[in-house]
Amino acid sequence: MIGFIIRRLLLLCPVLFGVITLVFFLIHMIPGDPVELMLGDSAMPTDKEELRHQLGLDLPLHEQYLNYLQDLVQGDFGTSIHSREPVAQEILERLPATIELMAGAMLIAIVLAIPLGLVSAVKRGSWIDQIAMFFSLLGVSIPNFWMGPMLILLFAIHLDWLPVNERGTLLHLILPAITLGTALASILSRITRSSVIETLGTDYIRTARAKGISEMQIVFRHAFRNALIPVITVIGLQIGVLLSGAIITEHIFDWPGLGNLLIEGIQSRNYPLVQGCVIFIAASYVFVNLLTDLSYAFIDPRVRLQ
């Protein structure tokens, strides 16, 4: 187990290095000059050159890259060009809002998907199964950038039931969490259904039925537990998808999270801020995948990590 963890952590290094390199050069290829955005077109050329020197943007691109790598090794994500605050501090200030949104979306997805997939598997081929899978297909087909505004128009403007924009009470969380969690719920319900159906067709389930065990015990004590591995795999992998989807959702609902911070950094050509956000998201995605792999051994004792 320890050797597996060490190998996975070592594999993390080249992945993050590739992400850092790719993001660094891509963000510098975006048209626009942060100095022009900060000072405006009417600023004196000498002022622009002085600010560009202070920010280190007058250095050749490869020197900026090497300096950035050196700072990262020391745990320094750089300083925001506009606020002049450490990038790590800005990320940590916005992180709780993103975690809250992801937790709400994950809760909605699990509460909807697991029972829906389980019932669809038990009632396979029935009208219940067909309706459940229709809504599952519908949910995964609707993009966040369409569902979010539609929910705002219906529940916030026409019905005036829920607040919208920014972060406040739990009522502010409902609409963005539904927007972000619907697609995940659709995927999880289909995975749960197919996994439970496959498990119900195994030999040990037929043996349990032959022993006279009730169908309720067979479904919940035997089939459902062994069907959880692919479900947990999808949940772990979808956390990274939630992070990327949160960028759009947070922007729609003006949610003060990491995704909105990334959009602000891109719009203002804030190179260190964008790089720090993307590196944090990539590292979170890889670590979640590692935790997902490790969770297999606790769910299914047949799994042995060598």
Position 6 scores a pLDDT of 73
pLDDT category of residue 305 using cuts at 50, 70 and 90: very low
Q: Phi and psi dihedrals of 79, rounded to 5?
A: -120, 135
> Is 120 within 8 Å of 132 (Cβ atoms)?
yes
Which of 26-30, 140-144, 214-218 is predicted least confidently? Answer: 214-218
Residues 6+ apart with CB under 8 A from 30: 266, 269
Neighbouring-strand partners of residue 86: 79
Q: Is 166 helix (H, G, I), strand (E, B) or coil?
A: coil
* CA 34, 40, 42, 47 torsion-angle sign: negative
| Average pLDDT of the chain to the nearest whole number | 80
The mean per-residue pLDDT over the stretch 268-297 comes to 78
**Would you state the pLDDT for residue 139?**
81
Q: Residue 79: helix, strand or coil by DSSP?
A: strand
Does residue 235 surpass a pLDDT of 60? yes
Identify the structural domains of the chain with CATH numbers, from first to last.
87-299 (1.10.3720.10)
Whole-structure pTM value: 0.78
Over 60: is that where the pLDDT of 301 sits? no
187 Cβ partners below 8 Å, 6+ apart? 113, 140, 234, 238
Judged against a pLDDT cut of 70, whether residue 4 lies above it is answered with no
